[in-house]
Amino acid sequence: MKRTLTFILAMLFLVSCHTNTTTFHSEPLEPLSHQYVSEDEMFRLVLHLEKLHFRSDEKIELHATLEYLGLENKITIWHGLPYLDFFISDGEQMNTGGIVQNILSSTSLTKGKVYTFPFAKSGSFDESDPNFEFWRSFYNEKDLYLPPGNYKITAATNFSLTAETDTSNYNQNIEVDITVDPPETSL
C-alpha cells in the first residue's frame, strides 16, 4: 500500500511539472479589411479588424498575426501562455485581457512564417462585482460583442528572447480605437 501511494504521488509530481507547450496560434485566417502594423527589425505584429464601427448586436471579428523577421532562420522565445494577448478597454468599466499562465514555456518561431492568433477573451470577475451578471454573460459568450461605447483594442506580445527572462523581455503592441453603437431599431 505504501509503495502504491509513493508511486501515485511520484506520478502526480511528474505530471504537475509538465511544461505546457500550447502556443495559442492557429491555422492562417483570411486577412480582414483593416490591418494595423507594428514592426521592428525582429518582429512584425499585425492586428486585423473587419471595420472600426460596429453595432452592439454585431459580432466583432479580429485576430492578430506575428512574424519573425530577424537575422537567424529560427528564434526561440521564452514566455507564459499566451505570449500574444488581446486587451479591451473603454477607459472606465470595461477592462479585459492580461490573464497569463505563469509557466516558463519556449516556442521556436521560423523566419518568414506568419503565426495567427484568433481573438480570445481573458479576464476575471467575482460574485461581489456589481456587474457580475454582465461579466458572466460576456465571458460565457465565445464571440466578441460589446455594449455601446468607445473602446481601445490592443494586441500585445509578452515574451523574452532568452531563458534569462529578467534581462531579455520583448514587448510589442498595437492599439486601435473602435466605436460600438446601439443596435438598429425598426419602426
With respect to residue 186, please indicate whether it lies within any of the assigned structural domains: no
With respect to residue 152, please indicate whether it lies within any of the assigned structural domains: yes
Beta strand 101-110 with 34-39 is: unpaired
Query: Domain of 42: which CATH number?
Result: 2.60.40.1930
Q: What percent of the chain has pLDDT over 90?
A: 54
Banded model confidence at residue 187, pLDDT cuts 50, 70, 90: low
- The per-residue pLDDT for 165 is 74
Residue type, 147: P
Taken as a whole, the chain contains a residue count of 187
With respect to residue 17, please indicate whether it lies within any of the assigned structural domains: no
Nearest Cα to Cα of residue 45 among 72, 15, 26, 67: 67
Would you give the distance in Å from CA 154 to the centre of its chain?
9
pTM of the model: 0.79
What's the grid cell of residue 122? Answer: 481573458
Q: Which residues pair with 19 in a beta bridge?
A: none
Give the chain's domain count: 1
With respect to residue 12, please indicate whether it lies within any of the assigned structural domains: no
Residue type, 20: N
With respect to residue 58, please indicate whether it lies within any of the assigned structural domains: yes
- The per-residue pLDDT for 101 is 78
With respect to residue 56, please indicate whether it lies within any of the assigned structural domains: yes
The domain in which residue 74 lies consists of: 23-181
With respect to residue 61, please indicate whether it lies within any of the assigned structural domains: yes
CA terminus-to-terminus distance, the chain: 75
With respect to residue 176, please indicate whether it lies within any of the assigned structural domains: yes
